[in-house]
A and B are shown apart, each in its own frame.
Chain A
């Protein structure tokens, strides 16, 4: 928290010549659409095993998404926000952090939670509307998915302040979508992080649509990354379909944050191949051509080409991971379905540390 003083240099006066310009931002890229390294300086420092692990997680997440959609149709899952297409931003951003770092997700960000340590069956319980879905295991540094768009931005800001006050070299990361960047809480969170120089990463997954509303109707700003200027924090745009670029951008932001350099807003340009939720029909607002164009940018295909060229991945690997993921989903959905049913007295007892008399009385009505 810097304070002004009489000795401080005068604030720069912004004239037209210094005006922030809405020039095109060029998103950070490491891989070309053909999977070739086009930006070797930004190549993340990952071993072959780590590169394969990133691919494993992306293929696993895609398969899980496919299965989840089917399980939803069968009535075996409840609320579910599809993730296919966003594996680059989701898997990459989480992979760039350590398990000590803290994840504050939006409602679509279940993959980050699971890769950060939340057991898959609890993700399914969350979807089904069971309290145990939110009982995050000790040592797994995440909050539950946030339904109120923007609220998680403030929680991450508070958590980052906690890290700073305790002198811990940890980072909080939080996610929202392009629509979420129009919320007041989005701006307030970024602004607090700027004022207190907090170790936090605000990751906006810009998939072009907030349910049916296209990005152009959210803002006149050229990019979401530009919004960082208003809070005095770093703003970065990254190709969200390029998982290596995502990892690079998040690693850089985390290193700066750990060093006391403050917060970064990262805008990841991505696309959801499926509708907003299971009750949405994307054909009403998106064209076949647009969907076709984005499918060519599939983050798994692009990263797969890179790995194949290095001899690190084959089609057989993909088939094996898909099989593993299907088995894992089957096992975990069974575990979710076999989880003990909730009771009203149980819910009542989870309201407060010490249940007050009026709730004790109400509990008796259910016993």
Chain B
């Protein structure tokens, strides 16, 4: 066991897999020599060589296309898109070419690719660095979507993602990279893709969250506890495929739920989660499932980010609406 922050855990996952499997490659803008703008790949080129970990020209679509081509030739590319807002340049390669490769070829080819990208607010970054674009990915058939919230999960989920024989969009929250340290086992272990985690047990209401919002939700739960409300917090960890069973099991116990997401209200994963709850657990609900989310504006200017993003207070308010319904 070692104490690691999330970025160290992510690097460790890639190191473990580079070592274990010679077909694993890492490439992207500035990931090689310098080790990435957040040092997620620091030291990996020195350890594994320029044929395994390399810098590319500045062109996201070609980074995606390179991954797709290499994927057909038995490689396992980990392609980094430097910031989430730049995935638009690579959308065809990620969400069309990689996501459809197995289906289009009737299984003859596949795309065992991880597209790593940082996202997420609260760090006063420049425009288009922090948007929550997971909603685009979850409505794209063929690609899995993973959003870890802590170092242990990040390492285990990334190892699972690298070993997955289908493409995975791996979203790393900027605000969690160095936020705290956790015990992270040495060597290899996996956290299964598609399995949520109940991070706080409760009986009165279920708060469903992912990414940074798991921590915001836990703070809200602490506030609620002061007023005698016992909230259960679920960290989804994977948005596609969604672990609806864990959500339903929780609602059967609490009979009330909200979904918290950093993305705008009309994007992200919340609407789909609520639709599935309606399909599978409506008779267990004492109140409608509400959303606590960003407003439907363009992602805010840095100076007003903190007011725009969901806060513990807004989550408490949303929970109270559900409780008082």
Q: Do A and B come from one complex?
A: yes
Contact of A151 with B by CB under 8 A: yes
Most buried by A among B97, B104, B141, B244: B104
The interface residues of chain A lying within 8 Å CB-to-CB of B109 are 136, 143
- Report whether B104 and A134 are in contact in the complex, using a CB–CB cutoff of 8 Å: yes
Q: Is the CB of A151 within 8 A of B96?
A: yes
Shortest distance from the beta carbon of B193 to any chain A beta carbon, whole Å: 9
User: Known contacts being A143-B109, A155-B69, A162-B73, is A192 close to B56, with CB within 8 Å?
Assistant: yes
CA distance A351 to B202 in the complex (A): 37
A204 to chain B, nearest CB (A): 17
**Residue contact A162 to B69, C-beta cutoff 8 Å:** yes
Interface residues of B in 133-179 (CB under 8 A from A): 141-142, 164-166
A361 → chain B closest CB, angstroms? 9
Contact of B92 among A143, A148, A159, A351 (CB under 8 A): A148
Chain B residues whose C-beta falls within 8 Å of the C-beta of A132 in the assembled complex: 106
CB of A360, distance to nearest CB on chain B (Å) = 10
Per-residue 0/1 for B91-126: is the Cβ within 8 Å of any A Cβ (1 yes, 0 no)?
011001100001111111110000000000000000
Asked if A241 is at the interface of the complex by the 8 Å CB criterion, the answer is no
Closest partner residue, chain B, to A167 (CB atom): B51
- Contacts A148-B96, A188-B59: A136 and B67 contacting too (C-beta < 8 A)? no
Complex: how many Å from CA A143 to CA B69? 10
User: How many chain-B residues does the 8 Å CB contact rule pick out?
Assistant: 44
A195 at the interface (CB under 8 A from B): yes
CB contacts (< 8 Å) of A138 on chain B: these are 108
Assess the B241–A353 pair: CB atoms within 8 A.
no
Contacts A157-B69, A189-B62; A162 near B74 (Cβ below 8 A): yes
Contact B105 A159 (CB under 8 A): no
- State the CA gap A159–B92 with chains docked (Å): 18
The residue that B105 contacts in the complex, of A135, A157, A353, A357, with Cβ under 8 A, is A135
Contact at A151–B93, with CB atoms within 8 Å? yes
Q: How far is the CA of A225 from the CA of B309 in the complex (A)?
A: 51
Distance A363 CA – B194 CA, assembled complex (angstroms): 18
Chain A hits for B107, CB < 8 A: 135, 350
Q: Say yes or no: is B305 at the interface (Cβ < 8 Å to chain A).
A: no
Bound together, the chains give a CA A136 to CA B110 distance in angstroms of: 12
CA distance A148 to B75 in the complex (A): 23
B73: A residues at CB distance < 8 A: 158-159, 162-163, 166
What is the 8 Å Cβ interface bit string for chain A, positions 137-164, against chain B (1 contact, 0 not)? 0100001100010010111111111110
* A134-B104, A143-B72, A192-B62 given; A154·B57 CB < 8 A: no
Q: What bracket does the count of chain A residues touching chain B fall in?
A: 35 or more
**A260 CB-CB contact with B under 8 Å:** no
Closest to A347 in B: B103
- Interface residue? B65 (CB, 8 A): yes
Q: Shortest CB–CB separation between residue B285 and chain A, in angstroms?
A: 20
> Smallest distance from the beta carbon of B52 to chain A beta carbons, Å?
9
When distances are taken between beta carbons in the complex, the residues of chain A under 8 Å from B65 are: 151, 153-155, 157-158, 185, 188-189
Contact partner, A158, options B57, B69, B142, B166, Cβ 8 Å: B69
Q: Which residues in chain A, 317-367, are within 8 Å of chain B measured between CB atoms?
A: 347, 350-353, 356-359
Chain A positions near chain B (C-beta within 8 angstroms): 1, 104, 131-132, 134-136, 138, 143-144, 148, 151, 153-163, 165-166, 172, 184-185, 188-189, 191-192, 195, 347, 350-353, 356-359
Given contact pairs A154-B62, A157-B62, A192-B57, enumerate 8 new A-B contacts (beta carbons under 8 Å): A134-B105, A154-B69, A161-B69, A165-B25, A185-B65, A195-B57, A351-B102, A351-B141
Sorted nearest first, the 8 A-B pairs with minimum C-beta distance are A158-B69, A154-B65, A162-B73, A356-B241, A135-B106, A188-B62, A158-B66, A159-B69
Can you list 21 A-B pairs with a CB-CB distance of less than 8 A?
A134-B108, A138-B108, A151-B97, A154-B64, A154-B69, A155-B68, A155-B97, A158-B69, A162-B72, A184-B61, A188-B57, A188-B61, A189-B65, A192-B56, A192-B57, A350-B103, A351-B102, A352-B166, A353-B164, A356-B194, A359-B241
